[in-house]
Structure 1
Amino acid sequence: MVVVKYGGAAMKSPELQASVIRDLVLLSCVGLRLVLVHGGGPEINSALERAGVKPQFRNGLRVTDAPTMEIVESVLAGKVNKHLVSLVCLAGATAVGLCGKDARLLTARPSPDAAELGFVGEVARVDPSVLHPIIASGYIPVIATVAADETGQAYNINADTAAGEIAAAIGAEKLLLITDVSGILTDPDDPGSLVKEIDIAGVRQMVAEGKVGGGMIPKVECCVRALAQGVRTASIIDGRVPHSLLLEILTDEGTGTMITG
């Protein structure tokens, strides 16, 4: 099984979005069992701006007060999820749209930084039982990362984090984060400094040295956690590159950065 997280500016272009989904469906057609976990940052930002709210981030995570949470849930679990399900179906596969609240797929808990971040949650528990029959039927679950805690309070879960926890819970072989960066760079200002492959120890050293920061922190952390829980490889790949998903899975060269245990 392969868990694919799709998000960032890689979702902005309708043409590129359709291409990514077609590649996903192609992989499904040749026998891969896939789960698609999605973000929706650009769409959420647009909705917030229309509502007169300026988006705010801390360490790559969206600051989410109560009005922002309502917009996040409406956009992610509604508009974006339904759109991606529709694209998968148009490309010839069958998708099932879900969010973390459905069948208690994800149970949230407040972030330790809740005082600063608001309703940003962590994944307290994953119950993948709803996913198994969907995957076994050859369908593609498309998951929006809005979840609730034990009291029913909704939380915004970082999509990278959720994808990693879901990958571990279903025993996935691979975790792929499709985003709007080329991967891990030894020099953030030099695209040619891409790290093609690195292990957990190497990633931790780069974080400690300050070479990984901002929005890359949740991505790297979720990869490390997934690997520690049994996922074999985790890759961060550039969704702006045509067919990056196919290149990563079907070629030895791959794209982006692959992290191993």
Structure 2
Amino acid sequence: MTVVVKIGGARAVEPGGALADVAALVAEGEQVVVVHGGSTAVDDHLEALGETPEYVETPAGVVGRFTDERTMEIFEMVFGGLNTDLVAGLRAAGADAIGLSGVDGGLLTGSRKSAVRVIEDGKRKIRRGDHSGTIERVDAELLATLLDGGYTPVVTLPMLAADGTPVNADADRAAAAVAGALGATLVVLTDVPGILADPDDPATVIERAETPAEFERVEAAAEGFMTRKVMAAREAIDGGARAVVVADAGGERPVRAALDDGGTRIEPSALVDAGSASEGAGADADSSGATSEGDETTANEATESDA
């Protein structure tokens, strides 16, 4: 079994348990790819420099980071450091980890979105100068070569735009693209126990979505950053992922717990078009699993996930 583990960037997400669990899964014979975010670390660095992180709202109501040139410089520095830390943690836990950005080997490629539609003061406007993009291709062959060689890839952004420019992208959707390209199970670790029917009550985890009606319930329950994770789950399954689990990063073995029915599990049967998606699982090495949904719903594709 191949598993893609998305480790979030929220301050409340402590990666130590997840890294030890990934190493344990690899020792048990599983192939694992780690994809990580780091939005809060970028914000912390900007604020330490006396700068204010900028977030914008799209006409669809999705909030995401606006990545100007200065923010992109900080982004590349911070994500490179986080990637090194995670690789070191995995190696200390016994996994032969190797760090990659989406630029390395052209792992994550796609188109750049330099202008985005936003809502400011109640009006629709176009903001230019955004360093963001949409992942359209994942080099699954590169990842498969590393996995077959016994390595555990740790993947981070930026992605590589068609013009050769490194640009930002959403980390949840990057993980979805990787899972779709590999035909893998995607485990999204965050700071809550799953998708909650009542966001204020951690005991209301929606355990499974196996039908379109159950997936509609998941979509209706998702709020804030969880909306992006549900969007990523749909894209992962549409791209060929075998299942998606959104679960708590805490605990001794959070990844194993997620695979053993922890958190919220979304099956391909939960999507109306699941039949065509599952038939193509893992078949196209260049498939990204990413779905273009129009400027109004993808203006935040430049954002790395907050959690």
Give TM-score, length-normalised by structure 2.
0.76
Across the aligned residues of Structure 1 and Structure 2, the Cα RMSD in angstroms comes to: 2.1
Displacement after TM superposition at 1:4 (Å): 0.6
The secondary structure found in structure 2 opposite 1:186 is coil
Paired position in structure 2 for 1:181: 192
Write out aligned runs for 1:18-167 (5 A): 18-57=16-55, 58=57, 59-76=62-79, 78-111=80-113, 114-116=116-118, 118-167=130-179
- Rounded to whole Å, the distance in 2 between the matches of 1:200 and 1:160 is 23
Aligned residue among 210, 220, 223 for 1:199: 210
AA matched with 1:61:
G
Paired position in structure 2 for 1:243: 253
Paired position in structure 1 for 2:264: 257
Contact preservation (8 Å) 2:69, 2:131: yes
- Rounded to whole Å, the distance in 2 between the matches of 1:2 and 1:219 is 17
AA matched with 1:238:
D
AA matched with 1:158:
D
- Rounded to whole Å, the distance in 2 between the matches of 1:137 and 1:54 is 43
Instruction: Determine if the alignment matches structure 1 residue 218 to structure 2 residue 218.
Output: no
The secondary structure found in structure 2 opposite 1:119 is strand
Contact preservation (8 Å) 1:114, 1:120: no
Contact preservation (8 Å) 1:147, 1:156: yes
AA matched with 1:178:
L
Which of 140-149 and 233-242 deviates more?
Answer: 233-242
Give TM-score, length-normalised by structure 1.
0.89
Contact preservation (8 Å) 1:207, 1:213: no
- Rounded to whole Å, the distance in 2 between the matches of 1:107 and 1:61 is 20
Instruction: Determine if the alignment matches structure 1 residue 171 to structure 2 residue 183.
Output: yes
Aligned residue pairs total: 252
AA matched with 1:40:
G
List per-residue Cα deviations over 1:204-251 (Å, max 9, x = no partner): 524764x323211221111111112221210001113442212122x3
The secondary structure found in structure 2 opposite 1:192 is coil
Paired position in structure 2 for 1:228: 238
Q: What are structure 2's unaligned runs of at least 5 residues?
A: 119-126, 269-307
Displacement after TM superposition at 1:179 (Å): 1.2
Which of 4-13 and 120-129 deviates more?
Answer: 4-13
- Rounded to whole Å, the distance in 1 between the matches of 2:41 and 2:75 is 9
Displacement after TM superposition at 1:2 (Å): 0.6
List per-residue Cα deviations over 1:13-69 (Å, max 9, x = no partner): 4xxx22221111000000000100011122212111112222233435322111111
Alpha-carbon spacing, 1:208–1:86, altered in 2? closer, same or farther (3 Å): closer
The secondary structure found in structure 1 opposite 2:174 is helix
- Rounded to whole Å, the distance in 1 between the matches of 2:191 and 2:213 is 22
Displacement after TM superposition at 1:10 (Å): 6.2
Alpha-carbon spacing, 1:29–1:221, altered in 2? closer, same or farther (3 Å): same
Contact preservation (8 Å) 2:13, 2:190: no
- Rounded to whole Å, the distance in 1 between the matches of 2:160 and 2:265 is 32
- Rounded to whole Å, the distance in 2 between the matches of 1:184 and 1:230 is 22
Contact preservation (8 Å) 2:209, 2:218: no
- Rounded to whole Å, the distance in 2 between the matches of 1:157 and 1:218 is 12
Alpha-carbon spacing, 1:245–1:207, altered in 2? closer, same or farther (3 Å): closer
Displacement after TM superposition at 1:11 (Å): 6.4
Contact preservation (8 Å) 1:203, 1:220: no
Alpha-carbon spacing, 1:203–1:156, altered in 2? closer, same or farther (3 Å): farther
- Rounded to whole Å, the distance in 1 between the matches of 2:205 and 2:258 is 15
- Rounded to whole Å, the distance in 2 between the matches of 1:244 and 1:183 is 12
Alpha-carbon spacing, 1:83–1:208, altered in 2? closer, same or farther (3 Å): closer
- Rounded to whole Å, the distance in 2 between the matches of 1:24 and 1:234 is 17
AA matched with 2:66:
V
AA matched with 1:245:
V
More relative contact order in 1 or in 2 (CA 8 Å, sep 6+)? 2
